[in-house]
Homo-oligomer: A and B are copies of this chain.
Amino acid sequence: MARTIGSNGARTAEAIRQAGVKLIYRHGYEAMSLRQLAAEVGLQSGSLYKYFDNKQSLLFDIVREHMADLLAKAEADLAGIDDPMARLKAFSAFHLRYHMQRMAHVFIANMEIRSLDDDHRAMVVGLRRRYENLLEDTLREGAQAGVFKITEPKVATYAIISMLTGICMWYRPGGRLSQDQLVDIYTGLVVDGVTGPQGVPVKADKHRALV
């Protein structure tokens, strides 16, 4: 049946949002149809329009809220930590834990950016930029302080975030390694990566050109 006794709009809205996350995660935004979504929450597809203006705005809501949440939690987590190394470790640990616990949201936010309208995408990219800056500023400070041996903080930021985010591609709860262990391993790679003797850069071998 479509309607549980005692159900109400807020409950339905939340159900739609969750089903949306699930289906977009599983099939992709373009491939998910509103009919599927409606079926998942026990509605007719036309009824969804009580809860959003159109399919695009559903995606935008999910992505924007996720990004805002990510940013807010990260800022809260780092608040009061001043030492660059401590901030780096805290950022890494936070990022990993968040990504392991919110894999679907994270995946959607990364994959479906190109499905957003230009305006929506710009807004989301802005939030992402602010999030990345948390790390970039830390790296920059640590580099200036001499504790991080990096010459290009922006490149390092991208590199580190890509590495950490990649955990979503393979992590599954209940695996051999606990979340704590994974945090240790990844964070170790990050810390060692930015504290090693990189200041004397490896000389790039000239490889045969790719066709």
Q: Is A90 an interface residue (CB 8 A)?
A: yes
Per the bound structure, the CA–CA distance linking A190 and B198 in Å amounts to: 10
Q: Is A197 an interface residue (CB 8 A)?
A: yes
**Are A205 and B89 also in contact (CB < 8 A) when A155-B182, A159-B186, A192-B197 are?**
yes
Nearest CB of chain B from residue A49's CB, rounded to whole Å = 11
Per the bound structure, the CA–CA distance linking A85 and B162 in Å amounts to: 23
Per-residue interface assignment for chain A, residues 173 to 204, with 1 indicating a CB less than 8 Å from any chain B CB and 0 otherwise: 00001001111111111111111111001111
By the criterion CB–CB under 8 Å, are A73 and B197 in contact? no
**Interface size of A as a range:** 35 or more
By the criterion CB–CB under 8 Å, are A202 and B187 in contact? yes
> Whose C-beta in chain B lies nearest to the C-beta of A161?
B166
Q: Is A94 an interface residue (CB 8 A)?
A: yes
The majority secondary structure among interface residues of chain A is helix
Q: Which residue among A111, A152, A169 has the maximum number of chain B CB atoms within 10 Å of its CB?
A: A152
Q: Is A77 an interface residue (CB 8 A)?
A: yes
By the criterion CB–CB under 8 Å, are B158 and A160 in contact? no
> Whose C-beta in chain B lies nearest to the C-beta of A166?
B162
Q: Which of A11-19, A24-32, A51-59, A60-68 contacts B (4 or more CB under 8 A)?
A: A24-32
Which B residues are CB-close (under 8 A) to A208?
Answer: 77
Which B residues are CB-close (under 8 A) to A23?
Answer: none
**Are A187 and B204 also in contact (CB < 8 A) when A31-B115, A155-B177 are?**
yes
Chain A positions within 8 Å of B, measured between CB atoms, are: 27-28, 30-31, 73, 77, 89-90, 93-94, 97-98, 101-102, 111, 114-115, 149, 151-152, 155-156, 158-163, 165-167, 169-170, 177, 180-198, 201-205, 207-208, 210
